[in-house]
Structure 1
Amino acid sequence: MNKTLYVTDLDGTLLNTDICISETSLKIINDLIASGMHFTFATARSLVSARKVTKGLLANIPVIVYNGAFIMNHEDGEILYSRKFTSDERGDIVSLLRKHHMHPLVYSFIEQQEKLSWNQNHENEGIKHYINQRLDDPRLRPLSDDRNLYDGDMFYLTCIGEPKELEIVYQIMQGDERFRCTLQQELYRTEYWLEIMPRKATKAEAIQHLKTMGSCDRIVAFGDAINDLPMFEIADEAYAVANAVPALKAAATAVIADNDQDGVAKKLWELYQGTAN
C-alpha cells in the first residue's frame, strides 16, 4: 500500500486568524498521527517561532522551516538538511542591498548558533512589530550599524517595507537564477515582505527530500499563499484553503474550508479515514 506524506503550511492554512491551531484541529490531527499518519508542516517560520504556534501538536517526523532552507527534528532542533548562500552569492546580495540603501533582517549561523541580525537605527514599523513579537527570542542580535550585519553562514533575508521601495530589488533578484525571491503582503499587516533565499531553498525541494527520507510514495499538500506554489506543483494532491490567493486555488486539486473552519484537519480526516497509509 502506498505511504503518503501529508504536509501543510502554517500561517493562513493550519493556523487560524488567532495564529494558533484550534482545539478541534489539534484533536483531529493528533488522533490521526497516533493512528499512523505521516504528517508534518512546511513553513516560512523558524523552528523557534513554529514551536510556539503549534504547541500541543504531536509532530512525529521532522519539520520544514524557513520556506525549505532547513529540515529539522521538531524536538531537539537537529539539522537534517540545509540550503545556505555561498560566499559569492552573499557578496552579491550585500552589494545590491547596500546600493539600494536597504536594511534587511538577516538570518544566519554565527559560531554554530542561529542568529537574527538587524540594524536598530533603520527600523520601520514593520520591523519594529516583527521584533516586538519576539523579544524573548534567543536568536535576536541587534546591531547599531551594518558593519557586522552579514556575518556568519547566511541562509535567509527579509526586507520589510512598502511595495514600491522593494520592487526594484525584487525585479533585479528575479533575474538571477541563483536566488529565489518572493514579494507579498504580510498576512496579518499592511507591510510587504521581500524574501531572498538560495534557489534550492524551497518547500518543494525539502518535501522531496523528506519524502525520500521517510520512504514515502505520495505527497498531499495544503497551503494558502504564493510561496506554497512549488510544493503544490510536486504534490500528488494539493488543497488550497478557501482564504488562499487565487493563483494557489488555480493550482489546487480542490479548495477546502478556510483556516477558521478547520479546513485542513477536516480534509485530512476525510482523506485518511479507512486507510493505513
Structure 2
Amino acid sequence: METLNIGDIKLTWLNGGVTHMDGGAMFGVVPKPLWSKKYHVNDKNQIELRTDPILVQKDGAYLLIDSGIGRGKMTDKQKRNYGVTEESSIDDSLTSLGLSAADIDAVLMTHLHFDHACGLTRYEGDHLVSVFPNASIYTSSIEWAEMKNPNIRSKNTYWKENWEAVQHQVKTFEQKLEVMDGITMHHTGGHSDGHSVIVLEDSGETALHMADIMPTHAHRNPLWVLAYDDYPMTSIAAKQTWQHKAAEKNAWYIFYHDAVYRALKWDGNGDIIESVKRERR
C-alpha cells in the first residue's frame, strides 16, 4: 500500500474497489481527443476510477477519507453499469496494518454518492449494519439532507442502504469543520450541493483532497468538470479558489479516484514535480 507523510500525519491508501465509468461523462463537454491524451480510455469508452479510502493517522487517531464501494452491496446489473471489476477489501487492508474497522475513529465523507458511501454499511444476513461501529461520520449538513431526501436526479446515487444503518453516527457541519488540529473539511458544493474538500496541514506541509471536483490528475484544468456535476459553474469556481490556495502552500494533491497517481505536486507551469504513483497489483 502506498503511503505519504504530511509532517506527522501519515496517509495510507486502502483497497476500496474499482469502477470504470464513461469517459465522456467524466470529462463533460471536453472533446475526447483532448482528454484521452491525459487519461487512458478502454474500448468501451470507460476510464478506470479507483474508489480507495485514505487512512489518516495522527496523534494516535485513525481517520478515513471516504469509504469505498463496499462488498456485496451491488447487484450484477449495477456492477455492469458502473464497470465494477473489484469490490472493497478494506478489512484486509486494515488487517495488514494491524488494525480493524473497529479502530477507525472517524470517517470524513467528502460527499455521499454511492461510490464513496457504499463502504459505510455491510450485510449481516438480511440486515445492514455499520462497517465502522465506533466512528463518527462527518459530512456537510447540505449533503446529509439530500442523502435522506434525494431529488429526481440525485436519487440514483443517494441510496438508503448507505445511510439508514449509520444515521446515529453522522455529525454534520455547515461551512467548515476542524476534525482535529490540522485536519479540516470545507464545504464547496459543485459536484453535489453538499460536496466538501479536505485540507491536511502539519509541520509546514499541506495536502489538499479536492475529491470529485478534481477526481483525477487529468482534471487539473478548472474548466474540465464532470457531466455528473450538479452545479458545474460552482465546481469551476471552487477549483480555482482551492488551486490558488494549494499553490500558495506548495501543497500535495491527494486522490481517491485516480488510477495513476495517489498524490502529486505541480509547479507553476503545470508540470509534475513530485508524485506517489499507484502500484499496479
TM range (shorter): 0.3 to 0.5
Could you tell me the TM-score, scaled by structure 1's length?
Answer: 0.33
Higher RCO, Cα 8 Å, sep 6+:
1
Could you tell me the TM-score, scaled by structure 2's length?
Answer: 0.33
